[in-house]
Structure 1
Amino acid sequence: NLHASLLPQYRGAAPINWAIINGETTTGVSTFFINEKIDEGNLIISKEVPIEEEDNAGSLHDKLLEIGEITVLETLEQIETNTYKETKQAHSDTLKYAPKLFKEDGKINWNQSANQIHNLIRGLSPYPVAYTVFVAKNKRKETMKIYKSQAVVEKHHATVGLVETDNKSYVRIPCSDGYIYVDEIQLVGKKRMPIKDFLLGNKNMHLVQCL
């Protein structure tokens, strides 16, 4: 079997997402023999892949798919020629897991750090997508999906979650230790778009509160 992590780390259904969400700089692929436990069989081959700062779940998936195809072929060749070596997976209390993602996992907590929020956005883009709920000027709650962002760490006295914008080129949202600059978003029922395009038709985001 092939798994999109360096086993035994990130056993589970969503290893690509969780590696980015947790701020890892390296991941990889592993081939292993299946046993009665999920993702715990003896390892055959593991290959490392760096996680770049600009990577999101989509781009990392494509990288791992490419190296995974090569790794599977190497594994099959070793099994066919009986040259493979099995390695028992380590068991430790410090292992990180990759459970299935649910909608609530994608809700942004603006009390977290800029890097934590940015990594959540990267780790859930392009699917299932991080989101925030805000109270519009008409008092209705709306959901905004965020596909792309930048994290800026700096001291401020702004209210956490209170949107700041010049209504032309940027939207930034204060968090615990800085700002998230929102680069690409989608409102419910609308198209995904860059923030500058969004602001052309939406001039009422300043001082909107994200929950």
Structure 2
Amino acid sequence: MKVIFAGTPDFAAAALKAVAAAGFDIPLVLTQPDRPKGRGMQLQPSPVKQAALSLGLQVEQPEKLRNNADALQMLKDVQADVMVVAAYGLILPQEVLDTPRHGCLNIHASLLPRWRGAAPIQRAIEAGDAETGVCIMQMDAGLDTGNVVSEHRYAVKPDDTAAQVHDMLMELGAAAIVADLQRLKQEGRLKSTPQPEDGVTYAQKLSKDEARIDWREPADVIERKIRAFNPVPTAWAEWDGKPLKIWRAETVNRGGKAGEVLYCGSDGLIVACGENALKITELQPAGSKRMDIAAFAAGRTVETGTVL
């Protein structure tokens, strides 16, 4: 069975490696063009390109697929049975979706129809969802609206960050797509279920502005945002006129004026919120590395009553 693979970040690279390890024929890998990255802004290949080259696979990097006759012909020439798509980052027009014999399967990091869109992991944590997961979806022209082939659940732990959930769902998704491809190969088709009309939510793209902490919000809301935006874009507040990134915190039953520092010591920096307070245990001042609160408190004086 011929499988075209399309994806870009680490989440997709894990799936590509799993599909290859399972013995499927992958005649073509699609990924986004190399992008400038790092201090020197040198062009860097995507994780999927790196994985594909290490596996000896053909890689193509079209700027777009819509209205791209050359890319469409390239896909048709492969005569693929199915295309696997994972966090590719390009829109697939209907003519591309129709090219493989069994269409295109997408690995989506949520329990559809909840959290369609760009940032499903982060939005699930931010909303306080008790569980999330991975869906293998038969793609159509809509935004994550296709029929669900299989669903795989993950219970979100109280201290899970977006990075931790990402890694768990990455492995879950890799195993799930291999299982569904094996079933497709054995049975010649995949059963799928239309998504329900109720319960649709959209996971909007993250922004740095929304990552700024509003101390007027309840402490539990802020704590979820800190975990949801870890590592990107990272929750932050202003301290001494500069951004202070907040990496880890927990809620505590304390009261005070929103944004007021109630305590700062080696065991935590406690800041009052709209309801209860937040005990910060890991942070990053501007121009410094991430550090635990003991290291922060040892080199700085934060007066009680200071307002962040």
172, 186, 190: which one aligns with 2:270: 172
1:48 is the counterpart of 2:148: no
Alpha-carbon distance in 1 for matches of 2:166, 2:178: 18
Partner of residue 237, structure 2 = 132
**What is the aligned counterpart of 2:196 among 90, 93, 100?**
90
Any runs of at least 4 consecutive aligned residues in structure 1 with deviations exceeding 4 A, and if so which?
none
- Residues 128, 205 of structure 1: alpha-carbon distance in 2 compared, 3 angstrom cutoff: farther
Match of residue 183, structure 2, among 78, 82, 85: 78
Note if 1:192 corresponds to 2:298.
no
Query: In percent, how many aligned pairs have the same letter?
Result: 31
Q: Which residue identity lines up with residue 147 of structure 1 in the other structure?
A: W
CA RMSD of aligned residues (A): 1.4
TM-score by length of 2: 0.63
Which one-letter code corresponds to 1:197 in the other structure?
Answer: A
Q: Distance in 2 between matches of 1:34 and 1:60?
A: 24
Secondary structure at the counterpart of residue 177 of structure 2: helix
Q: When the two structures are superposed, what TM-score results if normalisation uses the length of structure 1?
A: 0.91
Q: In structure 1, what is the Cα distance between the partners aligned to 2:158 and 2:115?
A: 20
2:165 paired with 1:60: yes
Q: Is the 8 A contact 2:264 2:302 kept in 1?
A: no
Check the 8 A contact 1:150/1:180 in 2, yes or no. yes
Return the index of the structure with the highest Cα Rg.
Answer: 2
- 1:56 to partner: Cα distance: 0.7
2:172 counterpart SS class: helix
Alpha-carbon contact 1:17-1:123 (below 8 Å) kept: yes
Moved more, 38-47 or 167-176: 167-176
Q: Does 2:115 align with 1:10?
A: yes
- Following superposition, the deviation at residue 205 of structure 1 comes to 4.5
Question: Aligned partner of 2:181: which letter?
Answer: L
Q: Which residue matches 2:307?
A: 209
**For structure 2, which runs of at least 5 residues remain unmatched after alignment?**
1-105
Q: Cα offset for 1:208?
A: 2.2
Aligned-pair CA distance for 1:204: 3.2
Residue 83 of structure 1: how far off its partner (Å) = 4.8
CA distance in 2, matches of 1:21, 1:164: 25
Deviations 1:41-86 (A, max 9, x none): 1110011110011211011111111111110011111222235211
Residue 117, structure 1, aligned to residue 222, structure 2: yes
Q: Do the aligned partners of 2:223 and 2:249 also contact (CA within 8 Å) in 1?
A: yes
**Partner Cα distance (1:192, 1:22) in 2:** 26
Structure 1 spans left out of the alignment, 5+ residues: none
Q: Which has the higher contact order (CA 8 A, sep 6+)?
A: 1
Aligned partner (choices 134, 142, 155) of residue 242 of structure 2? 142
How do residues 151-170 of structure 1 correspond to structure 2 at under 5 angstroms?
151-154=251-254, 156=255, 158-170=256-268
Q: What SS does structure 1 have at the residue aligned with 2:166? A: helix
1:166/1:110 CA distance change after superposition, 3 Å: closer
Helix, strand or coil for the counterpart of 1:19?
helix
Report how many aligned residue pairs link the two structures: 202
Could you tell me whether the CA contact under 8 Å between 1:167 and 1:206 is conserved in 2?
no
